[in-house]
């Protein structure tokens, strides 16, 4: 049995002396708050520069980044935001906290991403924005999605938490929409433990992001005040120091993941009823995870059975990714929010909260067939061969 590196500890992370040196330097300053320090500010500048963007604001998590972006939309209670049914809850609850109604669009069952067509079907006169998630490191079709957004004059927020340096149509994800949101959580391409970043070209959105991260206090203003209701979502200087060092390694991290993923794809090509991850046309995949698509018409309950076999080989895979579509979670299914108020669901159109299964065929088919394999930048050819041999043997047993 081959022990795979894990992104949950040092075996699968690029954390090293560079991070230790910068954290030590930050500690020696005695200034650990980003309002007074220099490390978070430099991290923001470097991150913006790497993406060719004028503005970047760091915050405490990827969920916070989504919340910061949604706050910039200045939603009225009951406004609708179209989003995906296959995503982390941290990308959804910020909409509720700003009084908006998440309206779920279906996903493509092979990429698990929103499509321009599924988004267009859900637009109403109450739609105020679109949030797309570049799931597993594979970009959405931003060309088509932005065309729909422009037709309806809707801003687009890109959730790039799993897609650092992925590209579509030649540009980096997070730079095409109005705002791009990133996560530095433990298992992402680069990590500060927890942390997030918001990118934008729009100076008004940038100003909103800065304020919302800082309790709406106007640092640097002539007469600062708390201008509206907002939170403390600041990153610490220690995290900023780690982020600075991690960012210098990002290109190498992505290249390593792409190289080993291509090798695994070659090794398992031709397997009956099991296919490698699909990449959106005119895009590059950056493999936050490596997802097998299991044809359950050939392999009954195949994702679960294959996962069980891989577990016996020491490979911890995840059938379905999330156990159920987001709209089946209690917060949506039972409208559990503020006390017994059901707010903001009490303001929703009936159609906006209709979660009938027949409206989401791609979601249910995709979740039934996806098997998520762990992935990180420290995989070697030996690790990839072990994965391939295990998958091939497991499929044979199916």
Query: Mean pLDDT per 10-residue run, the chain (398 residues)?
Result: 96 98 98 98 98 98 98 98 97 98 97 98 98 98 98 98 98 98 98 98 98 97 96 98 98 98 97 96 98 90 95 96 95 96 97 96 97 98 98 94
Q: Are residues 223 and 277 in the same domain?
A: no
Q: Is residue 3 part of a domain?
A: no
Final residue belonging to a domain, choices 226, 249, 272: 249
Q: Are residues 84 and 53 in the same domain?
A: yes
Q: Is residue 340 part of a domain?
A: no
Q: Are 313 and 390 in contact (CB under 8 A)?
A: yes
Q: 70 — alpha (psi -120 to 50), left (phi > 0) or beta?
A: alpha
Q: Are residues 59 and 132 in the same domain?
A: yes
Q: Are residues 152 and 242 in the same domain?
A: yes
Q: Are residues 317 and 239 in the same domain?
A: no
User: What pLDDT sits at residue 299?
Assistant: 83
Final residue belonging to a domain, choices 189, 222, 249: 249
Q: Is residue 357 part of a domain?
A: no
Q: Is residue 211 part of a domain?
A: yes
Q: Is residue 339 part of a domain?
A: no
Q: Are 269 and 362 in contact (CB under 8 A)?
A: no
Name the DSSP letter for residue 82: E
Q: Are 179 and 69 in contact (CB under 8 A)?
A: yes
Q: Are residues 124 and 157 in the same domain?
A: yes
CA-to-CA dists, residue 204 to 69, 219, 237, 264, angstroms = 11, 16, 25, 44
Q: Are residues 218 and 304 in the same domain?
A: no
Q: Is residue 291 part of a domain?
A: yes
Domain count of the fold of the chain: 2
Q: Which strand (E) or helix (H) includes residue 241?
A: helix 237-247
Q: Are residues 29 and 76 in the same domain?
A: yes
Q: Is residue 37 part of a domain?
A: yes
CATH value at residue 275: 3.90.1150.10
Q: Are residues 15 and 108 in the same domain?
A: yes
Q: Are residues 225 and 271 in the same domain?
A: no
Final residue belonging to a domain, choices 231, 249, 267: 249
At a CB cut-off of 8 Å and minimum separation 6, what does 366 contact?
86, 107, 108, 109, 110, 112
Residue 284 φ then ψ, to 5°: -120, 135
Q: Are residues 165 and 293 in the same domain?
A: no
DSSP-derived secondary structure for 133-154: E-GGG----HHHHHHHHHHTT-
Give the C-alpha separation, 206 to 72, whole Å.
9
User: What pLDDT sits at residue 332?
Assistant: 97
Q: Are residues 257 and 171 in the same domain?
A: no
For the chain, how far is it from start to end, CA to CA, in angstroms?
21
Parent domain of 92? 10-249
Nearest Cα to Cα of residue 192 among 254, 241, 234, 233:
241
Q: Is residue 388 part of a domain?
A: yes
Q: Which two tokens stand for residue 102?
A: 């998440």
């Amino acid at each position: 049995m081959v022990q795979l590196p894990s992104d949950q500890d040092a075996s699968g992370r690029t954390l090293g002396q560079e991070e230790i040196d910068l954290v030590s330097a930050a500690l020696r300053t005695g200034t650990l708050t980003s309002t007074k320090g220099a490390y978070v500010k430099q991290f923001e500048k470097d991150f913006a520069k790497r993406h060719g963007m004028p503005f970047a604001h760091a915050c405490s998590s990827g969920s916070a980044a989504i919340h910061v972006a949604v706050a910039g939309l200045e939603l009225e209670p009951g406004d609708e935001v179209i989003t995906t049914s296959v995503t982390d809850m941290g990308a959804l609850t910020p909409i509720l906290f700003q009084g908006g109604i998440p309206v779920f669009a279906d996903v493509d069952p092979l990429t698990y991403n929103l499509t321009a067509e599924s988004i267009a079907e859900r637009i109403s006169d109450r739609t105020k924005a679109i949030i797309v998630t570049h799931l597993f490191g594979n970009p959405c079709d931003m060309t088509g999605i932005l065309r729909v957004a422009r037709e309806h004059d809707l801003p687009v927020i890109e959730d790039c938490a799993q897609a650092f340096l992925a590209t579509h149509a030649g540009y980096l994800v997070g730079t095409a929409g109005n705002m791009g949101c990133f996560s530095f959580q433990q298992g992402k391409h680069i990590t500060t433990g927890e942390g997030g970043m918001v990118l934008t070209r729009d100076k008004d959105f940038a100003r909103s992001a800065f304020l919302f991260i800082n309790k709406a206090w106007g640092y640097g203003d002539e007469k600062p005040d708390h201008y509206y209701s907002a939170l403390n979502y600041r990153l610490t200087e220690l995290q900023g120091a780690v982020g600075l060092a991690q960012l210098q390694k990002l290109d190498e991290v992505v290249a390593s993941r792409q190289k080993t993923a291509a090798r695994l794809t070659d090794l398992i090509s031709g397997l009956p009823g099991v296919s490698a991850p699909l990449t959106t046309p005119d895009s590059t995949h950056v493999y936050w995870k490596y997802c097998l698509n299991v044809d359950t018409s050939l392999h009954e309950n195949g994702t679960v059975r294959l996962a069980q076999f891989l577990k016996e080989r020491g490979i911890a895979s995840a059938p379905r990714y999330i156990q159920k579509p987001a709209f089946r979670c209690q917060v949506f299914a039972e409208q559990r929010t503020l006390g017994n108020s059901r707010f903001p669901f009490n303001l929703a159109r009936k159609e906006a909260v209709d979660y009938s299964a027949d409206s989401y065929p791609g979601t249910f088919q995709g979740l039934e067939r996806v098997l998520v394999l762990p992935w990180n930048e420290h995989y070697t050819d030996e690790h990839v061969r072990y994965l391939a041999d295990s998958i091939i043997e497991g499929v044979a047993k199916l």
